[in-house]
Amino acid sequence: MLTLFISNQSAATNYWNGTTYTIEIPNGGVNGFLQKAQYSIFVPKGVEFIKGILIHQHGCTMEGTGEPIVTDAQYQAFAKKWSLVILAPDLYPKDGKDCYDWRNPEDGSGPSLLAALNRFSELTGHLELNKAPWLLWGHSGGGYWVLNMTKTFPERIIATFAYSPAFDPDFNYPEAVNKIPVMIRHAGAADFNDPGGDCWATALHTFSKLRARNGLISVAYNAHQNHNLSYVRLMALPFFESVLAQRLSKKRTSFLRDMDASKAWLCDTITSGEIRIYKASKYQGDILSKSWLPDSVCASKFREYLKTGTVKDITPPPAPMNLKLKIVDEKSSILTWEADADIESGIKYFNVYIEEKLLGRYPEKDDFQTFDTNGDNPHPAIPAEMRYQINRLNLNPGSKIALSTVNREGLESAKSTIVINKNQIQP
């Protein structure tokens, strides 16, 4: 990991799988309203053309906390797969302001975002960032912001996920929004429903307004959870993946295709009892009373999410790669590697084997990286290096070292192996 300061207002950090950049946009809004908004971006290594931007917007009272999302191993693997970048706005991180100052794009956060994308296009050499479409994710006040951005920039939006969006907006959505897949999660009476918050009302009113126009929207109620507690990324990622598979072009272009109506499914909006899903093209009832889903896979996971508040991963993660072993001192050698996270459930730890016998796990106790259930940020914010120290007394020429990845569901990947040669264990 290497951090380079590009100027007084920007820095870049190189990781094995990509580069993160952080910049400040001073006075980026209208009427001098927005001061020193900070933006961070992750650009996956090897992606020649950026097809979209995941914009992950923090909520109210979380100003200054958005940056770590660009280091999240799970989101990084997702971005690499779909040729995306991850953009983390930190609106008013240093001025003591709150979401009432940035929640409306026209008050400054919209122009500031466009200015940030222009600056990032120069820093990264990806000029297509100025035209790339957006995946929007927002929590609470950030949920209001992404709905507002969906209304304001419908031609730029791939899909929108709003986690307990606030303030019950009465937006006049243009007709173009009808083609944008939208998913909203709320926690019912356990959500933030004090006067002025109105997260429950926001979810229900937005769903009703857009679905009545045959908008592509779904609403999820999580029982036994609340405004700041939900495993939303476990539903947001499969929702985004189903949408991206249909909307992104296979060519080097920012053009977005319409969703394929023949693949759509519907789901009951009931909050108790049996929850059913239906093939949209075969359903004979009132389709506008049901949640809309992009395909059968997403519909099945959505039903599970409604029932349990989470989505289980049933497939193993990808195997680690590029294993290397080298001497560090007279007693030990260091094993290093690279690994893409499991997009469904991330990385919990790695298993290290010698001759098929388990030597240990890394990290020894804590998770390699997990996420909180409020702002969705990764823990730890800066991921640990992928390196494991091995006592050289345990190593012999010709022996095999194997490494596997274990995801958060406890599923283990295939093993990647290297054969030890004497130069790796003998000075």
Q: Is the confidence at residue 4, as pLDDT, over 50?
A: no
Do 185 and 242 share a structural domain? yes
Q: Is the confidence at residue 5, as pLDDT, over 50?
A: no
Last residue of a domain, one of 308, 338, 369: 308
Residue 384 lies in a domain: yes
Do 245 and 382 share a structural domain? no
Q: Is the confidence at residue 340, as pLDDT, over 80?
A: yes
Do 110 and 220 share a structural domain? yes
Do 302 and 179 share a structural domain? yes
Residue 140 lies in a domain: yes
Residue 394: its pLDDT value, please?
Answer: 75
Interstrand relation of 370-371 and 265-267 (parallel, antiparallel or unpaired): unpaired
Q: Is the confidence at residue 317, as pLDDT, over 60?
A: yes
CATH number at residue 70: 3.40.50.1820
Do 298 and 165 share a structural domain? yes
Residue 315 lies in a domain: no
**Residue 214 tokens, joined:** 């045959």
Q: Tell me the percentage of the chain whose pLDDT exceeds 70.
A: 93
pLDDT tens profile 44-58: 999 999 999 999 999
Domain that holds residue 216: 2-308
Q: In the predicted model, what is the mean pLDDT of residues 95-121?
A: 88
Do 146 and 182 share a structural domain? yes
For residue 415, what is the DSSP state? P
CATH number at residue 335: 2.60.40.10
Do 221 and 269 share a structural domain? yes
CA dihedral 357, 359, 362, 365 (to 10 degrees): 110
Last residue of a domain, one of 308, 336, 361: 308
Distance CA 126, CA 341 (A): 25
Residue 270: its pLDDT value, please?
Answer: 79
Q: Do residues 238 and 297 make contact, with C-beta atoms less than 8 angstroms apart?
A: yes
Last residue of a domain, one of 308, 342, 373: 308
Higher pLDDT, 97 or 216: 216
Number of structural domains the chain divides into = 2
DSSP states of 248-274: B-SSSS--BPPP-GGG-EEE---SSS-
Do 60 and 25 share a structural domain? yes
Q: Is the confidence at residue 7, as pLDDT, over 50?
A: no
The residues near 178 (Cβ < 8 Å, ≥ 6 apart) are 210, 213, 214, 215, 216
Do 330 and 302 share a structural domain? no
Full-model pTM: 0.94
Residue 35: its pLDDT value, please?
Answer: 65
Q: Is the confidence at residue 150, as pLDDT, over 80?
A: yes
pLDDT band, residue 128 (cuts 50/70/90): very high
Terminal alpha carbon distance of the chain? 27
Do 337 and 225 share a structural domain? no
Residue 161 lies in a domain: yes
Task: Count helices and strands (H / E) in the chain.
Answer: 6, 22
Least confident of 25-39, 235-249, 275-289: 25-39
pLDDT tens profile 239-266: 999 999 999 999 999 999 999 999 999 9
Closest CA to 84 of 164, 11, 27, 158: 158
Q: In the predicted model, what is the mean pLDDT of residues 395-413?
A: 94
Residue 404: its pLDDT value, please?
Answer: 98
Residue 316 lies in a domain: no
